[in-house]
Amino acid sequence: MRIPEYEDAWAVFVIHSDPKTNRYNPSGPMKNLNEAMKSLQEWIQDWENNGFGYWTVLDSSSCKIIGVGGIRGMRYNGRDVLNLYYRFSPKTWGRGYATELARTAVNLAARYLPGWPIVARIRPSNVASIRVAEKAGLKHTQELYTSEYIVLTLGWR
């Protein structure tokens, strides 16, 4: 995992434009490379401004980007929280990469950003994503459920 770079745009676009990776995404797949560039700009600015944000994930043997994820600050339900996010190329699904990334992000947040609640908003039918958040230590927080999402949190009080 590493901090995103503008050179990652094509790989980010390929992952985020794939209909399989967006099956549960309300905004749907990315439509063009400019959307990937805009996302990268936001992610890079997060790192520059806050010292944390989403990572790009590289395959250790090929050094090709296989996913994006981590934590990013946002406002949710009137509070500053860390949004837990993970999206990987379908070719890599089932290998534990999302779980490894989620656990790493949660552990680093607990160590370096104590007091920030972590939130994962997931469509109820996205069972694989729910399992990843659970394996990373997040718990179902039913009072935050909406008609669109179930919400898992860590440190929500």
Domain that residue 128 falls in? 6-154
Percentage of the chain modeled with pLDDT above 90: 95
Mean of pLDDT over the chain: 96
Residue 84 β-bridge partners: 71
Rounded average pLDDT over 92-120:
96
Predicted confidence at residue 123, as pLDDT, reads: 95
Give the number of domains in the chain: 1
Q: What is the CATH number of the domain that holds 14?
A: 3.40.630.30
Work out the average pLDDT over 64-76: 97
**Domain presence at residue 95:** yes
User: How confident is the model at residue 57, as a pLDDT?
Assistant: 97
What whole-number percentage of the chain has pLDDT above 70? 100
3-state helix, strand, coil in the chain (%, to 5): 40, 25, 35
The answer to the question of residue 1 being in a domain is no
Give the separation between CA 47 and CA 1, rounded to whole angstroms.
14
- pLDDT tops 90 at residue 135: yes
pTM recorded for the entire structure? 0.94
Would you say residue 26 has pLDDT above 90?
A: no
Cα(136)–Cα(131) distance, rounded to whole angstroms?
Answer: 9
* Measured distance CA(106)–CA(104) in Å, rounded: 6
Q: Residues 73, 82: contact at Cβ < 8 Å?
A: yes
Q: How far apart are CA 90 and CA 53, in angstroms?
A: 23
Q: Within a domain: residue 31?
A: yes
Q: Is residue 111 part of a domain?
A: yes
Structural domain contains residue 128: yes
Q: In what order do the strands lie in the sheet with 118-122?
A: 54-58, 65-76, 79-88, 118-122, 150-154, 139-140
Neighbours of 140 (CB within 10 A): 14
Residue 90 confidence (pLDDT): 95
Q: With cut-offs at 50, 70 and 90, classify the pLDDT of residue 76.
A: very high
| Domain annotation covers residue 127 | yes
